[in-house]
A and B are shown apart, each in its own frame.
Chain A
Amino acid sequence: MKKISFVAAAVVLLLAVFAMATYLYNSQKADDANANAQKNNSVLERDYSPILGDKNAKVTIVEFFDPACGTCKAFYPFLKGAMEAYPGKIRLVMRYLPLHQGSDDVVKILEAAHQQDKFWEILSVAYETQSAWTRHHVARPDDFWKVLANTKLNVEKAKQDANSAIIEKRIQQDIADARKLNVTKTPGFFVNGKPLTQFGSQQLKDLIEMEIRSNY
């Protein structure tokens, strides 16, 4: 065999082994994630979790999010678009997973807004003004409060509620559930209990459409 084709064959072989190992590893990981999600199906949502959409919708998207996370912000219009594309068929459940430094205080504010029935309104504000109250991936709750002064939120009451034991407990519960469900990054998506194993908007779209097709 010519030396050049010898080396070329070695390159092809090495790359094939790499691709094969990647495929096997990823499918094993996806299987594990599916099995784990199925096992912990009961902690996917809590009675206090903010929910958007028709409560009889047959497709439920659960998102573990961090308001300071740029990718969560980028996915928000995508989720809204999916809900508009299938009116009445999708319900969206939000779960808190504050991974950024300072985010734990910001999700407490969101939960305080939730108690005033203004969760979705304030979430939109949080995403829109994200760059104003985050710096170098650190959330600054004080700056977020300043933003909230221009909204309809009762800031006085929200400040009291944000420090309440009940909200603290809910946030800790969401973090514990995320750990159980093996969500270590935000956004973490589940569609009808199935985890998004390969991250990407197209993959999420495919997963949603698959569930729409099998339920309607």
Chain B
Amino acid sequence: MSKQQNTQLRTPPDTGWMLIFTCWLLAAAGTLGSLFFSEVMGLKPCVLCWYQRIFMYPLVIIFLVGLFPLDRAVSRYALPVAIMGWCFAVYHYLVYSGYIPENLQPCSEDASCAEINLELFGLITIPMMSILSYTAIILLLFIFQRRTQS
């Protein structure tokens, strides 16, 4: 029995599982990070931030359910959600970098989407972190899809 346990311990979790686990980790970190900005630092989320949150938060649950046991169809459900969030993140990026004029974007007075509230190391902004997380999740899901198809 102990031999069996040993082999189980030594076997690394399969790559597909690790891919979805990484997706879950990204979504969970994004969720907690955004909550840190709004609840701890008191930065008011603008309208576009809210739409990105709406698509990020459920991914934590979707990926977690897809991990136990590993569901090969998880990307079918997670990918559309992640792509929606990615679109909002890119739109937000275009708004605050000035490609889309401010008067065209649907923001209220108290928290402007075009205003940059936080810059880490002088270049990383909150919308940029959002784009990066969504892009990474989408790429990992594509890789997962290819691996499971073959």
Contacts and interface: CB of A to CB of B under 8 A. Distances in A.
Interface of A: 1, 3-4, 6-7, 10-11, 14-15, 17-18, 21-22, 25-26
B26 to A, nearest CB: 11
Contacts of B35: 18
A19 to B, nearest CB: 10
Interface residues of B, number: 16
6 contacts: A7-B68, A10-B21, A10-B28, A14-B25, A14-B28, A18-B32
B40 A3 contact: no
Given A3-B17, A10-B25, A25 B67 contact: no
Contact of A3 (B25, B29, B32, B67): B67
Contact of B64 (A6, A7, A17, A22): A7
Given A3-B68, A14-B29, 4 more contacts: A7-B64, A14-B28, A17-B32, A22-B36
Contacts of A3: 13, 17, 67-68
B13 A6 contact: yes
B9 interface: yes
Nearest to B70: A3
A7 B36 contact: no
A123 B10 CA distance: 72
A34 to B, nearest CB: 18
A21 B36 contact: yes
B124 interface: no
Contacts of A10: 21, 25, 28
B41 interface: yes
Contacts of A1: 9
A1 B13 CA distance: 9
